[in-house]
Chain A
Amino acid sequence: MGIEQKLGNMGVVTTKLEDLVNWSRTNAMWPMLFGLACCAIEMMAAQAAHYDMSRFGMELMRASPRQSDLMIVAGRLSRKMAPVLRRLYDQMPEPKWVIAMGDCASCTGVFNNYSLVQGVDEVVPVDVYVAGCPPRPEALIHGVVTLYEKVKGDKFKDVVVQTKSA
């Protein structure tokens, strides 16, 4: 039904495999259900009906790292929590991305002290930094869309090179 009619008589769509893979990745990216501090409240608001992140393919926050592609580090990361965060990141299957949400996750904002990790990029590789204290849901969604732009530009050859060197 449906799709056959839309495709007309051709029944074929041509595209690049790269584009197809990146399209499918960006349209079903599941973030991990993982909040560290007050930014998590804004993350929940972005997920809820008013802002509704499922418009961007994020139907569900997964409570397990094994089922998620995207880690949104929402909040300040304490030094005692850092090994846990890295472990969760290592448990996520490839390909995976990280958004550092808010000033604390990006550079610890105002908390320049002994107890917090000075930016989560010391522990996990970050793709997109979202500024704000805390960022509004619009800002987080903008970060997600920015990440999509980045993923859409991914090339297979870069990914292969990365795996070899690692």
Chain B
Amino acid sequence: MDTKLEPIVQALQEKFSASLEEFRNEVHVFVNPDQIVEVLTLLRDKYDFELLSAMTAVDYLPQMSPRFHVIYQLTSLAKNLSLQLRVPVNGADPQVPTATGVYEVANWRERELMDMFGITAVGHPDPRILLLPEDWKGKHPLRKDFPLGYEEVQFTFNFDDINLRKHYAKE
């Protein structure tokens, strides 16, 4: 771990009883969903993490029990540091409080989360669909239980069957 990062991580551990994971000098701090806004505010105001450089989620469907991790990648330009926050979120009704009050860029990132993973950002100012078609209903494509193939692949042996089902455009 970067020596400049150690006191920051320690402060987070003491104040929020956050757990820690380290992999090849990259630090992941695990935070509860109800603490995340407070943690982000503290990091921005006190420890100069002025940039939320990425925000995404991972679906660990078969192997982990809080199914999702929402990931906040923070960068401090002043101190040349980067820190990753992870928020484990349950699969049944996935929710995180919105971070738009702290970082303005979280707006579109959270809309993308809502599209792709169905993780609701509670209190989001503009929760419309961002990337998917406007009339998209239901399933979320980046979840692990989303079907991989969209259409059955046409080979010689099933060419005619699929051709019957396929509708072609008319003039």
Contact yes or no, B133 A79, CB < 8 A: yes
**Nearest chain B residue, comparing its CB with the CB of A115:** B141
Give the contacts of A111-141 with B (CB-CB under 8 A).
Answer: 112-116, 118, 121-126
Residues of B within 8 A of A162 (CB): 171
Residue of B nearest to A125 (CB): B169
- Are A118 and B169 in contact, CB atoms less than 8 angstroms apart? no
Contact present for B168 and A112 (CB under 8 Å): no
- Determine if A114 and B169 form an interchain contact, defined as CB atoms under 8 angstroms apart: no
Chain A residues with Cβ below 8 Å from B151 are 112, 118
Contact of B168 among A107, A113, A116, A121 (CB under 8 A): A121
> Does B170 count as interface, using CB distance less than 8 angstroms?
yes
- Decide yes or no whether A3 CB sits under 8 A from chain B: no
Interface residue? A166 (CB, 8 A): yes
Contact B149 A113 (CB under 8 A): yes
With A79-B133, A80-B133 already in contact, the answer to whether A112 and B169 are too (CB < 8 A) is no
Nearest-neighbor residue (CB-CB) of A124 within chain B: B169
Q: Which residues does chain B contribute within 8 Å of A121, judged by CB atoms?
A: 168-169
Contacts of A116 in B (CB 8 A): 150
- Taken residue by residue from 122 to 157, chain B's Cβ proximity to chain A (1 for < 8 Å, 0 otherwise) reads as 000000000001000000010000101111011000
- A122 x B168 contact (CB < 8 A): yes
By DSSP majority rule, is chain B's interface helix, strand, loop, or mixed?
loop
Q: Is B167 an interface residue (CB 8 A)?
A: yes
A80 to B150, CA, bound (A): 16
Set of chain B residues within 8 Å of A123, measured between Cβ atoms: 169
Distance in Å from the Cβ of B139 to the closest Cβ of chain A? 8
Residue in chain A with minimal CB distance to B170? A125
Complex alpha-carbon distance, A124 and B150, angstroms: 20
Residue of B nearest to A94 (CB): B171
Bound form: Cα–Cα A22–B150 in Å: 40
Tell me whether A113 and B171 are in contact in the complex, defined as CB-CB below 8 angstroms, given that A79-B133, A80-B133 are known contacts. Answer: no
Residues of B contacting A79 with CB < 8 Å? 133
A166 contacts across to B, CB distance below 8 A: 170-171
Contact A122 B167 (CB under 8 A): yes
Smallest CB–CB gap between B135 and chain A, Å?
10
In the complex, chain B residues whose CB is within 8 Å of the CB of A118: 150-151
How far is it, in angstroms, between the C-alpha of A132 and the C-alpha of B101 when the chains are bound? 49
Tell me the A78-128 residues at the B interface (CB within 8 Å): 79-80, 86, 107, 112-116, 118, 121-126
A residues near B148, Cβ cutoff 8 Å: 113
Q: Given A112-B149, A112-B151, 7 more contacts at CB 8 Å? A: A113-B141, A113-B148, A113-B149, A118-B151, A122-B167, A123-B169, A166-B170
Binding site for A on B (CB under 8 A): 133, 141, 146, 148-151, 153-154, 166-171
Binding site for B on A (CB under 8 A): 79-80, 86, 107, 112-116, 118, 121-126, 162, 166
> What are 10 inter-chain pairs, A to B, with CB distance below 8 A?
A107-B154, A112-B151, A114-B141, A114-B150, A118-B150, A121-B169, A122-B167, A122-B168, A125-B168, A125-B170
